[in-house]
A and B are shown apart, each in its own frame.
Chain A
Amino acid sequence: MTGRVIVITSGKGGVGKTTTSANIGTALAKEGYKVVLIDTDLGLRNLDLLLGLENRIVYTIVDVIEERCKLKQALVKDKKNPNLSLLAAAQTRDKSAVNAEQLKDICDKLKEKNDFVLIDCPAGIEQGFQNAVAGASEAIVVTTPEMSAIRDADRIIGLLEAKEEIKSYKLLLNRVRPSLIKSNDMMSVDDVVEILSCPLIGIIPEDTGIITSTNKGEPIVNDENAMAGKAYRNVAQRILGEEVPFLNLDEPKGFMAKIKDVFAKLKAKV
């Protein structure tokens, strides 16, 4: 078995790389695929928190590289889903503890026994990014409809393009707020796609549920009703090759809007 190695990156920090990694990983595992999540943000690990696994980590990726344990020992199984496991980052070391070759080696080993290896990349374009990208053949670039995030995403796309190993990259637009787009105060999905000219793999609406799900250490894809959870499940489907239409993010119309519509129709008839 040769699994797919996908790096989740963004350039800018705080746009939702780790949240995206946790949710896509969980969604794919729920579909029955074997998934390993690798946190490569050495010194600033958080993926364990989002999955609620922070108390179970014994060995980290640095322990594997420095041969204090076997790779299998360092993989922490998810509480609910045995298909999902996490290779945590070391919290006490910095990015220089790992090099690109070592990470590529780990990815190569992991993809033999898993369907998906998802790499949560640190922010920035320095060594941490280079390490995270080294073993991957696909990339998901996470951005939000804000100028700084889009600019950084553009930079990342440029860097990914220069890498021969990366065969394809897709854009995931996070924290979209339909009400702001409607009032023309936020760039729309089309605007961002046009500016970055990168194929889209998902649109995730801003959802307060993300905060509560992080608090509980449970990815939002497990919440059947949450919009963001649904959007992430759709992303997982698209990764699996299904054609899923993008969510209609228009909020349900209010009373006044409905009346306006009725008048507009009457006017059109007259």
Chain B
Amino acid sequence: MGLFSDIYNTVARFFRPQEDQVEGASKAVAANRLKLVLMQDRTNLTPKILEQMRGELIDLLSKYLEMDKELLELNFEQEGEQVALMLSIPVIRAKDEDEIEEALKSAQTAESEDDTDEDKDDEAENDEEQKNNVQEESQESLTDTPSESECETECELKSESTQNSDSEKTAKPKRKTSSKKVTKPEGIEDSEADNTNLVQETEETNVN
């Protein structure tokens, strides 16, 4: 049988040379590898930092959403003049208010307890919580709307300060690299800032 299928494949390939070439095209591979490596060159973002970013984003977002962490994708894409940070997360479901509050509280306590192993603890606790929450959910009632159950959201953290240097806008064509420092630090700082704000807010509500 193997022989026959081999013969069939070779004959088929002879009649469909175009398709095979497109599939195995080394050009697309080259272009994609290049885009990634150039983005790293231009932004000075090492794979290590990207991984760290990914981890922190997961930590942050898992307070609000239950998602498939394995399938989370973090990529840079060029959109015309701008560099966009594309975050693709398969969302399993959105958490409800109580859960979010709880997650925030536990994150805060973990932070205050020890600063050294904070990340690992956070993750572990969050995982546990999520499991518990899922169980509770299923026991009580399935209040979530079905539309929320399996949707893929795409967050776009667009770099804003590409328009910074008006003075340099002379005859030179503008290049995407001008957004170098933007995406990474601001994105993280912002998210952290938001995070702490939220924590503070919930604190107040608790006191009340």
> Chain A interface (Cβ within 8 Å of chain B)?
147, 150-151, 154-155, 157-158, 161, 166-169, 181, 183-188, 191, 194-195, 197-199
Contact = CB atoms under 8 A, between A and B. Distances in A.
Contact of A147 (B21, B22, B33): B33
Given A154-B41, A185-B25, A185-B26, A167 B175 contact: no
A68 to B, nearest CB: 39
Among A168, A186, A194, A197, the most chain B Cβ lie within 10 Å of the Cβ of: A197
A171 to B, nearest CB: 10
Nearest first, the 8 closest Cβ-Cβ pairs linking A and B are A184-B25, A184-B27, A167-B171, A185-B26, A191-B31, A147-B34, A154-B38, A183-B21
Interface residues of B, number: 23
Nearest to A150: B34
Contacts of B172: 161, 166-169
A186 B29 CA distance: 10
17 contacts: A147-B30, A147-B34, A150-B34, A151-B38, A151-B41, A154-B38, A155-B41, A161-B175, A168-B171, A169-B172, A181-B27, A183-B25, A184-B26, A185-B21, A185-B27, A186-B27, A187-B30
Interface of B: 21-22, 25-28, 30-31, 33-35, 37-38, 41-42, 78, 170-173, 175-177
A158 B177 contact: yes
Nearest to B25: A184
Contacts of A154: 38, 41-42
Given A151-B34, A154-B41, A183-B21, A199 B173 contact: yes
A183 B172 CA distance: 35
A176 to B, nearest CB: 13
A197 B27 contact: no
A106 B21 CA distance: 52
Contacts of A195: 31, 34-35, 38
B175 A198 contact: yes
Given A158-B175, A161-B177, 10 more contacts: A147-B30, A151-B37, A184-B21, A184-B27, A188-B27, A191-B27, A195-B34, A197-B175, A197-B176, A199-B173
A173 to B, nearest CB: 14
Contacts of A199: 173
A5 to B, nearest CB: 15
Contacts of B171: 167-168
Contact of A184 (B28, B34, B41): B28
Contacts of A194: 78
Contacts of B176: 197
A117 B42 CA distance: 31
B180 to A, nearest CB: 9
A155 B42 CA distance: 8
A187 B31 CA distance: 7
Contacts of B170: 167
A198 to B, nearest CB: 7
A197 B173 CA distance: 9
Contacts of A181: 27
Contact of A198 (B31, B37, B173): B173
Contacts of A158: 42, 175, 177
Contacts of B41: 151, 154-155
